[in-house]
Amino acid sequence: MGNEYTVIGLRVIRSGPLALLQDAGRFGVRRLGVTQGGPADVHAWAWSNHLAGNPWGTAALEITFGGLSLAVSRDLTLAVAGADLGATLDGEPLPLWQRVRVREGQRLSFASPRCGLRAYLAVAGGFAAEPVLGSCACVVREGIGGHDGCGRPLDEGDELGVSPKTPDGRAPQMPSEARPDYGEAGRLALLPGAQIADFHGASLYAAFNSEWHVDDRADRMGVRLRGPALRCRIGTMISEGLGLGAVQVPPDGQPIALLNDRQTIGGYPRLGALTPLAAARLAQCMPGQTVRLVAHSHERAWSDYRRFRRQFS
């Protein structure tokens, strides 16, 4: 965290459906069957940390669906980015996508989604948590990481340690063009690959020329899309390793885009993989929201991601 001491910064009054501590993710351990974790929306997570004055990789709180209420235990500088979950400070609207100073005794609350699904709360100096396998990313299914190391979501009465600092210099400003509109239909960049040549021509046309709707069967493991049934010539295949954004197509023909808490291997044919920023955008989509798949080249995907990362170097 860059500081020599840790104090209690926030206390949970009401836990909400799902609030998890997430750093950049857990890498180099998939050979052990351990998944990546990390922020479902890397874009909003990165901006929350940047606005709070933190370097890339600092742990922030991922708040899904809202319902969270926190008591401020000491003066802090923080930033909230991502979905509009009706955040308030002592009952007054809390501004999003900018740095905010809060005082001991104040109450920070998140209501329910207005636009988007996940908000990210970063504290200047970062949240303090012991790493597990090199990361404090919380993966509930595997029971690792998070604020207590056991993969547990926040619960009433939990206290969050922070390594507080006062950010240097002026607060960074977020360019207006970098702020997404989660209410718009998502255009999801997909890198064709894997078994794409084994899908029927009509299915490939449908995949990239149809509207898809986000199913209510969606979580941090993956998001099912509803639309035309895609058909593949492959019936069964040996399981392969799965990366972030892999788009599997099971026998019912409805694609599943895999996110941060995905399994490490899978045996369904794949259209390819969403780019990291496309996976982040999908993670903010509410059930029923419309998305489209857009074929991207690897060169363009790398260029887009490098441009994104340069903002936080």
pLDDT at 259: 98
> Per 3-state DSSP, what percentage of the chain is helix, strand, and coil (rounded to 5)?
15, 35, 50
Q: Are residues 62 and 107 in the same domain?
A: yes
Q: Are residues 159 and 191 in the same domain?
A: no
pLDDT at 1: 43
C-alpha to C-alpha distance for 163 and 184, rounded to whole angstroms:
37
Q: Are residues 114 and 132 in the same domain?
A: yes
Where is the domain boundary, 157, 178, 199? 178
Within a domain: 280: yes
Q: Is the pLDDT of residue 313 over 50?
A: yes
Q: Are residues 174 and 230 in the same domain?
A: no
pLDDT tens by residue, 161-191: 999 888 877 888 899 899 999 999 999 999 9
Contact 63, 85 (CB under 8 A): yes
Within a domain: 2: no
Q: Are residues 217 and 285 in the same domain?
A: yes
Contact 34, 133 (CB under 8 A): yes
pLDDT tens by residue, 250-265: 999 999 999 999 999 9
What are the beta bridge partners of residue 71? 11, 107
Q: Are residues 11 and 156 in the same domain?
A: yes
Look up the domain containing 94 and give its range. 7-178
pLDDT tens by residue, 203-237: 999 999 999 999 999 999 999 999 999 999 997 78
Where is the domain boundary, 160, 178, 196? 178
Q: Are residues 248 and 266 in the same domain?
A: yes
Within a domain: 1: no
Where is the domain boundary, 178, 209, 234? 178
Looking up tokens 């619960």 gives 155
C-alpha to C-alpha distance for 27 and 25, rounded to whole angstroms:
6
Q: Are residues 173 and 191 in the same domain?
A: no
Q: Are residues 190 and 172 in the same domain?
A: no
Domain tally for the chain? 2
pLDDT tens by residue, 109-140: 999 999 999 999 999 999 999 999 999 999 99
Q: Are residues 61 and 98 in the same domain?
A: yes
Q: Are residues 164 and 78 in the same domain?
A: yes
Q: Are residues 33 and 156 in the same domain?
A: yes
